[in-house]
Amino acid sequence: MQWTDEGIVLGVKRHGEASAILELMTREHGRHLGLVRGGTGRAMRPVLQTGNLVNAVWRARLDQHLGLYVIEGLNLRVGSLLSQSHAVYGVTHLAALCRLLPERDPHPTIVPMVETILDHIGDATVAGALMVQFEMHILSELGFGLELDRCASTGALEDLVYVSPRSGRAVSRAAGEPWRDKLLRLPAFLSEVETPEPSLQDVADGFAVTGYFLLQRVLEPRGESFAEARESFVAATLAGARRAAGAD
């Protein structure tokens, strides 16, 4: 068995004296593990950093075996991100989100989305909005997608400003007004195709929506909760966006 694919490094665990077990999120083969001989050595250490894009050749006698990886670095971006706190937390959180997906289950849209987030992670507001959209996509990939294109109560297609925490469906301003204190706020960039750049409040509201449903529908049924990296990323992103807005 052999295949070649590109993937994002999710994590590495030492194996024996010099080898490492590498976890990748690949374009065509999903979240996939393999053994890298010499993976803890000086030459490979900068390559096998969480968030880097690599080319991987995987070989095994049988498909169910762990297999061996031969790795070549393609985009070793992580070293340039270490000076930005929100970027470090973001890389860690992206890896945690990818680990919610079943191992070896193909999800070809994931790697391009992660690449886009990492390419824009220097802009706190943009990175925050992209992360919210990625969390929405993870919900959909796991079968828990939200229905935000029409009002759950009236069927209206416009002025959708709330999300029902019970159904995960959008609610219009008029229909939701009597229960506004019990509903989640729906930022336009999650429900409309063409929107202006999201505001700081929009990003915060988006994280509240995705965080609620990830916790309720994915993590808590597994007996899990968010890792500290998500809370730290959200806080650092919003703080960075505030500083940028103040500088303007």
Q: What is the DSSP string of the chain?
A: -EEEEEEEEEEEEEETTTEEEEEEEETTTEEEEEEETTTTSTTTTTTS-TT-EEEEEEE-SSTTS--EEEEEEEE--HHHHTT-HHHHHHHHHHHHHHTTSPBT---TTHHHHHHHHHHTTTSHHHHHHHHHHHHHHHHHHTT---B-SS-TTT---S-EEEE-TTT-BEEEHHHHGGGGGGSEE--HHHH-SS-PPPPHHHHHHHHHHHHHHIIIIIIGGGT----HHHHHHHHHHHHHHHHHHHH-
Mean of pLDDT values over 237-247: 76
Are 130 and 201 in the same domain?
yes
pLDDT (tens digit per residue) in 168-217: 999 999 999 999 999 999 999 998 766 778 888 999 999 999 999 999 99
Tell me, what CATH number does 6's domain have?
A: 2.40.50.140
Tell me, yes or no, whether 136 and 200 share the same domain: yes
Q: pLDDT of 95-132, one tens digit each?
A: 999 999 999 999 999 999 999 999 998 888 889 999 99
Domain that holds residue 62: 2-76
Confidence of residue 85 (pLDDT cuts 50, 70, 90): confident
What pLDDT was estimated at residue 248? 56
Q: What is the pLDDT of residue 80?
A: 83
Check whether 226 has a pLDDT greater than 80: yes
Are both 17 and 60 inside the same structural domain? yes
Do 202 and 118 belong to one domain? yes
The domain boundary, picked from 32, 48, 76, lies at 76
Is the predicted pLDDT of residue 50 greater than 80, yes or no?
yes
Read off the pLDDT of residues 51-66 as tens digits, 9 standing for 90 and up.
999 999 999 999 889 9
Are residues 234 and 119 part of one domain? Answer: yes
What pLDDT sits at residue 245? 67
Q: According to the model, what pLDDT value does residue 247 have?
A: 59
Q: Are residues 132 and 241 in the same domain?
A: yes
Across residues 81-95, what is the average pLDDT? 88
> What pLDDT is attached to residue 177?
95
Based on the fold, state whether residues 13 and 111 are members of the same structural domain. no
Same domain, 116 and 11: no
Domain count, the chain: 2
Q: Report pLDDT for 196.
A: 72
Final residue belonging to a domain, choices 76, 102, 124: 76
User: pLDDT class for 83, splitting at 50, 70, 90?
Assistant: confident
Same domain, 91 and 29: no
Where residue 157 falls among pLDDT bands split at 50, 70, 90?
very high
Domain limit, last residue, from 34, 58, 76: 76
